[in-house]
Amino acid sequence: MRSHLLNDATAEQYRRSVTEGVERVAATVATTDRPFTGVTVDALSPRIDEIDLDRPLHDTAAVLDELADVYLRDAVYFHHPRYLAHLNCPVVIPALVGEAVLSAVNSSLDTWDQSAGGTLIERKLIDWTTARIGLGPAADGVFTSGGTQSNLQALLLAREEAKAESLADLRIFASEVSHFSVKKSAKLLGLGPEAVVPIPVDHDKRLQTVALARELERCVGEGLVPMAVVATGGTTDFGSIDPLPEIAGLCEQYGVWMHVDAAYGCGLLASLKYRDRLTGIERADSVTVDYHKSFFQPVSSSAVLVRDVATLRHATYHAEYLNPRRMVQERIPNQVDKSLQTTRRFDALKLWMTLRVMGADGIGQLFDEVCDLAVEGWKLLAADPRFDVVVEPSLSTLVFRYVPAAVTDPAETDRANLYARKALFASGDAVVAGTKVAGHHYLKFTLLNPETTTADIAAVLDLIAGHAEQYLGDSLDRAS
């Protein structure tokens, strides 16, 4: 069994085994003709159930054969141009090289004595990101597992900075289409059930600052404490960007922590054409970025950034065995002092490899391409009488629905759209997402693949219309 441990004696076997695994993935990716096979839970679960984990195969090739059967063949492939559903990007190869390196060396980024150069590389990437945002000389941050954790940490800092007699008095303001991690964070942070005040959005799904001003005034008037405003720099559902400069102004006026959740929109930080859409982000107290959404990085790769390094102390605890207080005086950099996690992957290496091989412009160009594609898709939808499209894209999301010419029952239109999404998924021809707008079922494209073309978009719209029409035809048959 020792032959399975990576060390000087097994380096050659390591090379062979990993290469075998990579070859299987490469062969699968090269021949994937649909984003999904349409496999069902009922078809797949017996294949996984029947595997006896207490009877190992002792052979990597045999296990990879088995894996092809239970996973690789039927996985959902984000690199395919007709995967248009969630905020998943195709990944860039330099990042995959980083992934291979970081998991084999297995540095843990909690302390300098478990990572050395890894710590410095992460710090440099944090500095690079804060400079791109424009957070100023005292800025800092740390890599996290994702936007959810970044938002939680940012709101923890905001809570600690707020002056309130009771947690029940604290209020967080976020648009009604902000990410649900804001509410989860409020709960984890011990705030009351009324803590997150939803602010209405305008026609373009952007937070209405007039309403925010009114709610801030009401909050203070009631003797409550505004703890944070969460502005979303690219909403998950619509890609809409809240009016950051106006929100920053209100935060300054009321002395409230401004958090910008740019989990999705952070790709604009590298954009060559659309960086100005994030203007105002530089006034934030904290920012969430998900490199695994719009920097084409594999999951996980995310960070929380803060304007003032001193605020990170709210996440600092010292342990004699790990990061004793004296190390701060000795200027030994222990990233655990800034993180909610302890043992932590060296995810930063993926972004490092990406920036060193492709450069930020390379990433920005790819993100610009998907933003441009969304505009083309919007034009297609707006010109097509079969569809109703919600907002003109600020990033790369399109929310729309099929609207049958002859049907007047809104519930029937809802069912046709739900059916079309399901039928499309089952066919595996394309994968799209769904959401609700004003109580009605809509469909959604999140475009993050520069390989997707307008022809792909047109073809998927035809598939959707076809499935919806089939549903409506069948339901007419049922009625008669």
Ligand X SMILES: *Cc1c(COP(=O)(O)O)cnc(C)c1O
Q: Is 264 in the site for ligand X (CB under 6 A)?
A: yes
Q: Which stretch binds ligand X (CB under 6 A): 89-97, 258-266, 306-314, 422-430?
A: 258-266
Q: Report the alpha-carbon distance of residue 256 to residue 162 in Å, rounded.
A: 8
Q: How far is the CB of 141 from ligand X (least distance, A)?
A: 15
Tokens of 132: 């791109």
Query: In a 10 Å sphere around its CB, with 0-12 CB exposed, 13-18 middle and 19+ buried, how is residue 337 labelled?
Result: buried
- Residues 376/454, Cβ–Cβ less than 8 Å: yes
Q: Which is nearer to ligand X, 81 or 234 (CB)?
A: 234
Helices 454-479, 410-427: inter-axial angle, 10-degree rounding? 120
Alpha-carbon torsion angle 251, 252, 258, 264, nearest 10: 90
The sheet carrying 170-175 orders its strands as: 140-144, 302-306, 286-290, 257-262, 225-232, 170-175, 196-199
Q: How many residues of this chain bind ligand X (CB under 6 A)?
A: 15
Contact 116, 123 (CB under 8 A): no
SS3 content of the chain, % helix, strand, coil (to 5): 50, 15, 35
Q: What is the smallest separation between the CB atom of 146 and ligand X, expressed in angstroms?
A: 3
* 301 binds ligand X, rule: CB under 6 A: no
CB closer to ligand X out of 35 and 267: 267
**Which of positions 151-190 make contact with ligand X (CB under 6 A)?**
151, 179, 181
**Nearer of residues 292 and 467 to ligand X, judged by Cβ:** 292
Question: Nearer to ligand X by C-beta: 153 or 413?
Answer: 153
* CB of 50 vs ligand X, minimal distance in Å: 32
Provide, rounded to whole angstroms, the least separation between the CB of residue 179 and ligand X: 3
* 461 to 224, 310, 445: CA distances (angstroms): 49, 51, 10
CB of 449 to ligand X, least distance (A): 17
C-alpha to C-alpha distance for 37 and 429, rounded to whole angstroms: 8
Which segment (129-137, 145-153, 154-162, 424-432) binds ligand X by CB under 6 A? 145-153
Question: Which residue, judged by CB position, is nearest to ligand X in the bound state?
Answer: 147
Query: Smallest distance, Å, CB 230 to ligand X?
Result: 9
| Least gap, CB of 290 to ligand X (angstroms) | 5
Shortest Å distance, C-beta 341 to ligand X? 13
Using the minimum distance from each CB to ligand X, give the nearer residue, 261 or 282: 261
CB of 87 to ligand X, least distance (A): 5
In the complex with ligand X, which residue's Cβ is closer, 447 or 472?
Answer: 447
Distance between CA atoms of residues 390 and 374, nearest Å: 13
Nearer to ligand X, 181 or 286 (CB): 181
Pick 147 or 428: Cβ nearer ligand X: 147
Residue 332: exposure state from Cβ atoms within 10 A (0-12, 13-18, ≥19): middle
* By the rule CB under 6 A, 147 interacts with ligand X: yes
- What DSSP designation does 8 have? T
Stretch that binds ligand X, among 20-28, 197-205, 261-269, 277-285 (CB under 6 A): 261-269
Q: Going residue by residue from 226 to 245, which x/- string records binding to ligand X, judged by CB under 6 A?
A: ------x--xx---------
Is residue 302 at the binding interface for ligand X, with CB under 6 A as the rule?
Answer: yes
- Give the Cα separation of 78 and 172 in Å (integer): 34
Q: Is the dihedral of CA 22, 23, 29, 32 positive or negative?
A: negative
Q: Given candidates 72, 84, 87, 121, which one binds ligand X under the rule CB under 6 A?
A: 87
Q: Which residue, among 335, 289, 283, has the nearest Cα to 308 in the 3D structure? A: 283
d(CA 305, CA 421): 37
For ligand X, which residue of 118, 146, 364, 450 counts as binding (CB under 6 A)? 146
Helix ranges (DSSP H) in 80-146: 93-105, 117-133
Q: Which range binds ligand X by CB under 6 A, 141-149, 154-162, 322-330, 449-457? A: 141-149
Instruction: Quote the least distance from Cβ 150 to ligand X, whole Å.
Output: 7
Please identify which residue in 122, 140, 290, 456 interacts with ligand X, judged by CB under 6 A: 290
Give me 75's structure tokens: 């996985």
- Contacting residues toward ligand X, per CB under 6 A: 87, 146-148, 151, 179, 181, 232, 235-236, 261, 263-264, 290, 302
